[in-house]
Amino acid sequence: MDGNLDALTTVFTEFYYWVTVVFMFLIHVGFCMYEVGASRARNHMHTLMKNIMIIPLVTVTFFFFGWWIYWAFPNFWFFGGSIDFEAGAANLPWSENMATNLDDRITGVFWAAFLLFSWTAASIVSGSVIERIRSSALWVHAVLIGSVFWIIDAAWGWHYGGWMVQKLGYHDAYASGVIHAIAGGYALGVIMVLGPRIGKFAKDGTPRDIPPHNPWMLTIGIFLIYTGFWGFYAACNVPAISPEAIGGQITGTTWTATNIYLAPTSLSAITFNFLMSLSGGLMAAYVVSKGDAFWTFSGGLAGIITASAGNDLYHPIQAMIIAAIGVVIVYNLHYWVERKFKLDDAVGAVAVHGYAGFVGLVISGFVLWGAPSSPYEGYAAINPVGQFLGAVIMFFVLGFLPGFIVAKLQSMAGVLRIPEEVELQGLDYAEHHAYEDAKAAIIEADKAALAAKS
């Protein structure tokens, strides 16, 4: 760190990402609350454990290989590219940069910001499969989506040198596709193989609602997700950088915040757009669901996700309208898919994340048509075809296909779903039996003590 300005910038950047990581932890807290609230009492502890253990499993694997993939894969295979071992070297688990190192104060916090996105991707899948998947099966999916597939998509489409950005003009500033579409697509692939919960569909195929055990827990959960999502937005930016450091086509000496592609934006802009897209989503969901509380709250989230691809550049009113359009599409698509394909997406994750992310990418291709995708020369501009292809790559190629194939293999090996008897008595059967037995024994003992005194 030579000079006061460099030192200040480094320390500010280090602190900035650290704060975003702490905020983003609330996303996981929110997902846990949402899942537990949506599950029935007989599955609470297993549902919670299933999501909590995503944290360590994705963390260690993201340390071992996920972070390396991000730096080594931006041009893998495509257009004459290959694995970039040189860029990846500093991000290998045995690199000195991946540890306590006074000469590198950024890698740890930047790694952590990406890692929290990884938890989110895995947690999205976790919600859709509650009450019937084996934890061991889900945790394999968590590692795959959290430390392999999403980070490949990030290398391709969420990296300043990614091939999708260069060739397709792919633009996804706050991760409509790179987190939400891929995780929703992955969840869809898994639930197609996993099947619905017992009782979800009547014999004639009519879907039954399985109401949440604790609606208030769901409500607080989704509000925590909103809060963490704000931190997520900040984490997607580079907080302060000079044109010289970017090294692109920007002229002059004005420092700026940038998106992940090093193209200029500001925290102020994304704050406008975050709140307006949240509002558009809430309002549209309220109308389309006729005031259903949970669809309204989820609609707020789906609204933000729909607008996220372009929320670095949109006008706030555009963000609001795009969010509202997305929510109407997502809501209708969710029920159509449920009825048509008999799919049980327990928390609406495929719709809120997957469909909203896909639709958001497509819309941004039209609204931002011709805008530069990057500050570097020779990159394709943002365009509808590039955004549509990007959405297909995220949702189907890197999301749906791996989820479906791995779940199919697990199903063939008989290690995907819990036995029917266990599903009926609940995953927490042992804890509940022990609890009920202990309760009965202590009540009996107290009564005996009271009788002895009188």
Partner 1 sequence: MSTIGYESWAVDLADVNAIYPFQGWEMPMTIIGVIFWLAWHRIQFVREGQHLEEARKMGEKEKIDKMLERY
* Site for partner 1, rule CB under 8 A: 1-2, 40-42, 57, 60-61, 63-64, 93-96, 99-104, 134-136, 139-140, 213, 415, 418-419, 421-422, 424-426, 429-430, 432-433, 436
**H or E element in which residue 423 lies:** helix 420-425
Work out how close the CB of 98 gets to partner 1 at its nearest, in angstroms, rounded to a whole number. 8
Q: Which residue, 42 or 353, has its beta carbon nearer to partner 1?
A: 42
CB closer to partner 1, 63 vs 396:
63
CB of 245 to partner 1, least distance (A): 20
Cβ proximity to partner 1: between 247 and 419 the closer is 419
| Nearest distance from C-beta of residue 118 to partner 1, angstroms | 15
**Contact indicator for 136, 272 with CB cutoff of 8 Å:** no
Q: Label the pairing between strands 238-241 and 264-265.
A: unpaired
- Give the H/E segment covering residue 240: strand 238-241
Torsion, CA 104, CA 107, CA 108, CA 111, rounded to 10: 180
Residue with tokens 């996220």: 308
H helix or E strand, kind and range, residue 257? strand 256-258
Rounded to a whole number of angstroms, the minimum distance from the CB of residue 103 to partner 1 is: 4
Q: Which is nearer to partner 1, 381 or 422 (CB)?
A: 422
Which whole-number Å values give the CA distances from 76 to 70, 79, 267, 374, in the listed order?
A: 11, 9, 32, 19
Tell me if 284 sits within 8 A of 147, measured CB to CB. no
Give the chain's largest Cα–Cα span. 92
Instruction: Please tell me the number of Cα atoms within 13 Å of 24 on its side-chain side.
Output: 26
Which lies closer to partner 1 via its Cβ, residue 131 or residue 172? 131
Task: Give the nearer residue to partner 1 in terms of CB position, either 14 or 271.
Answer: 14
- Cβ proximity to partner 1: between 213 and 342 the closer is 213
Query: Residue 24 corresponds to which tokens in the numbers above?
Result: 């983003």
Q: Are 278 and 304 in contact (CB under 8 A)?
A: yes
CB of 136 to partner 1, least distance (A): 4
Smallest distance, partner 1 to C-beta of residue 73, A: 20
Q: Considering beta carbons, is residue 107 or 383 the nearer one to partner 1?
A: 107
**Which of the 8 DSSP states describes residue 381?**
B
Q: What letter does residue 196 receive in the DSSP assignment?
A: P
Amino acid at 411: S
Q: How far apart are CA 98 and CA 104, in angstroms?
A: 9
Is residue 309 within 8 A of residue 177, CB to CB? The reply is yes
Is the torsion defined by CA of 126, 72, 400, 176 positive or negative?
positive
The whole-angstrom separation of Cα 399 and Cα 27 is: 21
Which CB, 167 or 432, lies closer to partner 1?
432
Provide the minimum distance between the beta carbon of 212 and partner 1 in the complex, in angstroms, as a whole number: 10
Nearest-approach distance from CB 100 to partner 1, in angstroms? 4
CB burial of 307-338 (b: ≥16 within 10 Å; e: otherwise) equals bbbbbbbbebebbbbbbbbbbbbbbebbeebb
The count of residues in the chain is 454
Output 42 or 197, the one with its CB closest to partner 1. 42
